[in-house]
Amino acid sequence: AAPAAGAVAEPLSQQPAPIFAGPDVTAEQAGIPQTHGLSLYLHAAPEDQPLAGAIADQLDAVGVMVLCPSPRPQQSFQECLLEHENALRQCQGMLLLNTGERIGNLMSAWQLARRIFGARRAGPWSAALHLPPPGHPDVPIRNVLQVDCRNGFDIRALGPFFAALQADGNADPSALRHA
């Protein structure tokens, strides 16, 4: 069941489904492409922010810089929008966390990102990371790489996304800004 409005999300340790399936590993240990210099914009619904922080820590451990802005109290919509746009311009790609709640929120975030990435990139730039619980649908956007971790997050599942970003020659965000 969805939490009541204004409810605080349960700490990760109290969630019924396991979130992390694989061990904490370096990029080399995980057998994923070199990730140093790669930066990702991480989008999660407000109730998924603790989970986003834990995933950002694992991404950081393998060399991925993660930008995950969150609105501050009393911040206007326009200020929030500008903060998100500025963060997107500093990244090579976007990772959407999907726990089955608020698909509309994810689609709106992707549409904002498309204004930035779509104008400068033809290759893959976004992935939806599907997390527990199992059974929820993929994000219904054709151009998003779907990464299935519904039975538990394992950093190795992001290897194809990292490889696609690297193959597209996007290790340097300044090169993208001028494209």
Given pLDDT bands bounded at 50, 70 and 90, which one contains residue 155? Answer: confident
Given pLDDT bands bounded at 50, 70 and 90, which one contains residue 172? Answer: very low
Which residue do the tokens 């990760």 mark?
12
Which stretches within the chain are classed as H helix?
Answer: 27-30, 49-61, 77-89, 103-117, 159-167, 173-177
Length of the chain in residues, anyone?
179
Mean pLDDT computed over 66-81: 83
pTM of the model: 0.73
- Residue 168 in this model has a pLDDT that exceeds 60: yes
Quickly count helices (H) and strands (E) in the chain. 6, 5
